[in-house]
Amino acid sequence: MNIRQLEYFLAVSEQLNFTKAAKQFYISQTAVTLQIKSLEEELGVKLFDRTNRRVKLTPAGKTFQEDARAILRRTSDAMERARRADTVFTGHLKIGFVKGYEKTTLSDLLADFHTKYPNISLSFTRENVSELYDGILNGNLDVIFNLQYSMDDLDDIDFVTIKQYPLLAVMPASHPLAHRTSIRWSELKNYPLVDIKKNNSRYGESATISNAFTSAGFLPDIRYASDDIETSILAIAAGLGYALLPGYITDALTAKEKVIAVPLEGEEKRMTVIAAWHKNQENAALDKFLREYILIP
């Protein structure tokens, strides 16, 4: 007994006509008749009562009809499961993101990817700028969402721009500049700065920020430096100073933080977020993530 014989049998049992059943498979009536006869011999029962004028299922044929349908249905399901199993993509993706970027739609992107590829496991690292670039270069991370300052020392890294965000001065509501619609960088000269600790100047972070202050005519008076955004915002609310933060952080601020974000004047006051990965990476899961979610035409 084979699948084709069952298909022929069901076609005849539904059409009650050998000729019509044969046309359904683009074969001769004789071929269908021989296959049905072979099936009956194997089963040891007659499946059809045939006369010159009509074809009718025997009691054994009616019983076998139900079982044949079930067999074909289970066979089809089994084949589909086998095909899906053969195409299931597995792997692991190590994703890093700069502190504060979790406040964006990053989680939506990752959720979509995970839904589409549930067998690719994901791990996440939330770090500062330098540590993320280090993670790519030493192989601890596959892809990062990070701030771009300078790519001069990053010849081994490929990247694509995700978005540019405005830079804003975040200060306590009691600050003299807090209720302005915008301010010039130079107006921050006489106020203390709350900064994020920078462990490595290799990636242009410190130089870029220092040059921006120098262009404004002063160097910052850093009164407090923290390891993360949340502590910085707490320090600002406590009146220790102001901080310069990108829009992806300030967009998520609420009244409970007790701070106010004021835009800095000038189009150049923007920060660029990139997705970056090692040029020589050989992670098939990363290839799929980049091709379908990052490098979108």
CA 146, 150, 152, 153 dihedral sign is negative
Please write the tens of the pLDDT for every residue from 220-256. Answer: 999 899 988 999 999 999 999 999 999 999 998 888 8
Vertex 125 angle, CA 123 and 130, to 5°: 145
Model pTM score: 0.69
What the block records as the tokens of 248 is: 């992806």
Provide the pLDDT for residue 201.
63
* Cα gap 275→143, rounded to integer Å: 7
Pick from 163-167, 214-218, 292-296: least confident: 292-296
